[in-house]
């Protein structure tokens, strides 16, 4: 399998917010403003279908299904990407290399495949390339 070359830093354009960032926005957490600023124009945000799953599930459990659907409707304004073979294999490689869970690896691989910077407050991503990590702030 041939490895894709990593784009130069100035080629990384779009934001990709992971589930923790969207949950922070949806539930008006302390880092919500930071993630909203990163998202900017929602139509340009890369959104993994894994993120849709995680955000809907979390919100349905911690709020209700109506609120969960409202949040997912917002996320679907972005560029929604389902994992294909290339993203899946990249995620497997990233998981082995960085010891990340499957869902995290798929979200990260989606961001990398689309030259997007991943914005997160999930400490599993701390110090990884092309990630903007902000620690969770206790409310």
Q: What is the CATH number of the domain that holds 49?
A: 3.40.50.1010
CB 44, CB 67: distance < 8 Å: no
Longest dimension (CA), the chain: 46
Residue 112 lies in a domain: yes
Structural domains of the chain, count: 1
User: Is residue 17 situated within a structural domain?
Assistant: yes
Alpha helices in 63-101 (DSSP H): 65-75, 85-98
In a domain, 59, yes or no: yes
Cα angle for residues 27, 114, 12 (degrees, 5° grid):
90
Residue 138 lies in a domain: no
- 20 inside domain: yes
Domain that holds residue 26: 13-133
Residue 4 lies in a domain: no
Q: Contact 125/68 with Cβ under 8 angstroms?
A: no
Domain assignment of residue 6, yes or no? no
Would you give per-residue pLDDT tens digits along the chain (139 residues)?
A: 333 344 454 466 799 999 999 999 999 999 999 999 999 999 999 999 999 999 999 999 999 999 999 999 999 999 999 999 999 999 999 999 999 999 999 999 999 999 999 999 999 999 999 999 999 998 6
3 domain residue, yes or no: no
Rounded (10°) angle between helices 85-98 and 102-113: 120
User: Rounded to a whole number, what is the distance in angstroms from the first to the last CA of the chain?
Assistant: 46
């Amino acid at each position: 399998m041939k490895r894709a070359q990593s784009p130069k830093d100035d080629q990384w354009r779009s934001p990709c917010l992971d589930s923790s960032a969207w949950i922070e926005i949806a539930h008006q957490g302390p880092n919500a403003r930071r993630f909203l600023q990163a998202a900017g124009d929602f139509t340009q945000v890369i959104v993994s279908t894994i993120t849709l799953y995680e955000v809907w599930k979390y919100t349905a459990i911690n709020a209700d299904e109506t609120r969960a659907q409202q949040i997912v409707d917002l996320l679907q304004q972005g560029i929604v990407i389902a994992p294909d073979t290339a993203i899946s294999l990249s995620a497997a490689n990233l998981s082995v290399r960085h010891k990340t869970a499957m869902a995290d690896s798929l979200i990260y691989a989606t961001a990398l495949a689309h030259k997007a910077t991943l914005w997160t407050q999930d400490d599993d991503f701390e110090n990884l390339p092309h990630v903007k990590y902000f620690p969770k702030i206790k409310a």
